[in-house]
Amino acid sequence: MSLPLSKYVWFDGKFVTTDKAKVPITTHAIHYGTSVFEGIRAYWNKKNLFVFRLDDHVKRFRRSGQFYNISLNFSDKEISDAIIGICKKNKIKKSCYIRPFYFVGDYGINLHVTEKAPTNVAIFSFPFGDLFNKNGITAGVVSWRKFSDTSTPPQAKMGGNYLNSIIATQEAKRNGFDEAILLDHSGNVSEAPGENIFIVREGQLITPPLSSSALEGITRDAVIKIGKDLDMDVLERDVTRSELMISDEIFLSGTAAEITPIITMDGKKIGNGKPGNITKKIMDEYLDIVMNKNDDYSHWLTPVY
């Protein structure tokens, strides 16, 4: 899928046109997946462009590389300024997706990556709407399991980690589903390939714990906070596969997916086959927040202009 990239990207501290942002074929990340990335949304509300939870994304951006001793050789402020700057440089005045990433560069085939290994940093952006149908999608549990801390850190947003997501997505698509659900090594629900998962049962909002190998998602954290502020009973606990089938509502959360209802699971209709009341309430609250219509959460937004 070709992306409608904006004219300028940020590459190693400079704004350059996309054709100037090139790397050699000996780039380590191409061979071994030694790249770190974030997905960030910015929302245009007809008055300004607002980056959602910028500080939290930048903090996780650096932390992910620390798991592997991969150095981010720019300060958090420099990265934040570059993210805002790429929006300004491209004069973006529509909702967009921003992808910052850094990676081990010209390092040959050496597997001993240290803090001294050369790294490159890039940031690009493109207009972005809905990833999924907001009226609801189908999902199914796949046979592939989510990797765990016994093999590689689930909390690191590394390029190589997402091969697990790719193979799960391929299986789900072959089975006729819009999205996959992965189980952890204990057989409990973990997450989707690029999203966290929530279920609703008897008025309780429930999501698997981080011990299920689920990513500590920034949107996941937002949903938990929103739910509690709405006086919902929010729980982080193990969710069995069979519990998905008897849930009143299910939805996914993620930067790209935002809040996406699941209306059928493994071919079985969830609830009445439409987004449930709690899901719709979370969706509405989330949209108001990112569009700067809720002063209680304005600290989550960074204006670009």
pLDDT tens readout for residues 168-185 = 999 999 999 999 999 999
Exposure class string for 224-240: b at 16+ Cβ within 10 A, else e: bebbeeeebebebeebe
User: Is residue 134 a contact partner of residue 260, using CB atoms and an 8 Å limit?
Assistant: yes
Would you put residue 299 in left (φ > 0), alpha (ψ -120 to 50) or beta? alpha
Phi/psi for 123 (5° steps) reads: -140, 130
One domain for residues 25 and 156: no
CATH number of the domain enclosing 38: 3.30.470.10
**Residues annotated catalytic, as ranges:** 157
CA–CA dist 120, 31 (Å, integer): 15
C-alpha 24 chain-centroid distance = 28
pLDDT truncated to tens, each residue of the chain (305 aa)?
A: 677 888 999 999 999 999 999 999 999 999 999 999 999 999 999 999 999 999 999 999 999 999 999 999 999 999 999 999 999 999 999 999 999 999 999 998 999 999 999 999 999 999 999 999 999 999 999 999 999 999 999 999 999 999 999 999 999 999 999 999 999 999 999 999 999 999 999 999 999 999 999 999 999 999 999 999 999 999 999 999 999 999 999 999 999 999 999 999 999 999 999 999 999 999 999 999 999 999 999 999 999 99
Which residue is listed with tokens 């981080």? 210
Structure tokens at 240: 């069995």
Distance CA 84, CA 304 (A): 6
Helix (H) or strand (E) holding 248: none
In a domain, 295, yes or no: no
Q: Is residue 300 part of a domain?
A: no
Is residue 304 in some structural domain?
A: no
Structural domain tally of the chain?
A: 2
Can you give the pTM of this predicted structure?
Answer: 0.96
Boundary of a domain, candidates 127, 148, 163: 127
Q: Which domain holds residue 152?
A: 137-290
Q: Residue 301 falls within a domain, yes or no?
A: no
Name the token pair of 158: 């590394």
What confidence score (pLDDT) does residue 131 get?
Answer: 94
Q: Considering only CA atoms, give the Rg of the chain.
A: 19
Q: Which amino acid is at 101?
A: F
The three-class DSSP label of residue 159 is: helix
- Residue 268 and residue 152 share a domain: yes
Instruction: Write down the pLDDT at residue 6.
Output: 87
Q: Which tokens is 206 given?
A: 């429930």
Q: Is residue 299 part of a domain?
A: no
Quick one: pLDDT at residue 27?
Answer: 97
Write the CB contacts of 165 (distance below 8 Å, at least 6 apart in sequence): 193, 194
Residues 146 and 269 in one domain: yes
Output the pLDDT for position 4.
83
Looking at the fold, whether 58 and 150 belong to one and the same domain comes out as: no
Please report whether residue 296 resides in a domain. no
Cα-Cα end-to-end distance for the chain? 30
Beta bridge partners of 91: none
Question: Which of 66, 100, 127 is the last residue before a domain boundary?
Answer: 127
